[in-house]
Amino acid sequence: MEHRDDIGAKLGMWVFIFTEILLFGGLFLVYAIMRSAYSTEFHQAAHHLNAFIGSINTVVLLLSSATVAMSITAVQKGNNKLAVILLFITLLCAAVFMVNKYFEWGHKIHIGLYPGSDLMLTLSHGQVMFFSLYFFMTGLHMFHLVVGGIILTIVMLKVQRGTINAGHYVLLENGGLYWHLVDLIWIFLFPLLYLIT
């Protein structure tokens, strides 16, 4: 029988996820309105993004979602050692994502293509809106990814120590839910920003 605290923790996590969906849903709505108003400019601006790096990051995050889900199954079956390995792979995937983003953002900043730069002042209003949304939404997503990485690192250490085990793994489940949210947000961001046709 599930402990009452575990039920409360799960419910709290679902409420939190709902608020995050509202936040990003609002951003996606703003994006849709701006894209409708400036479709040509959004299309032109999207050519400055690297769809190959975006694709790699998509594959990396999908892999990380699979490994975090498998880690929960491993703990449920009493195999904490395997769960630690799977969580470590998840964190490696997060690191690969962040390194790719570092180079992607670094290139944009190097050429002066960032909000408030002199180059941005020469662009059309629609292109400025695209890059402003690009930096804000991907930046907010990266913040969530870093928070998720910290949570999963703590969870991994607790699994390693045996604090999280087959009888008590709600923290791992909630960490996994949060990580799936981070991945789901990227699944929407990738086509919206990188695959404009």
Residue range 142-181, pLDDT digits in tens = 999 999 999 999 999 999 999 999 888 999 999 999 999 9
User: Band of the pLDDT at 120, cuts 50, 70, 90?
Assistant: confident
Could you give the CA distance from residue 185 to residue 84 in angstroms, rounded to a whole number? 25
Neighbour tally for 103: CB within 10 Å:
11
Residues 158 and 171 sit within 8 Å (Cβ to Cβ): yes
* Domain ranges, residue 11: 4-194
* Total count of domains within the chain: 1
Q: What is the CATH number of the domain that holds 139?
A: 1.20.120.80
- pLDDT at residue 12, rounded to an integer: 87
Residues pairing with 165 in the sheet? 168
pLDDT of 30 over the 50 cut: yes
Average pLDDT, the chain: 92
Q: How confident is the model at residue 1 (pLDDT cuts 50, 70, 90)?
A: very low
Distance from C-alpha of 189 to C-alpha of 122, rounded to nearest angstrom: 26
pTM higher than 0.95 for the full model? no
Reply yes or no on whether the pLDDT at 11 is more than 90: no
Cβ(115)–Cβ(133) under 8 Å? no
pLDDT band at residue 3 using 50, 70 and 90 as cut-offs: low
The contacts of residue 108 (CB under 8 Å, 6+ apart) are: 48, 114
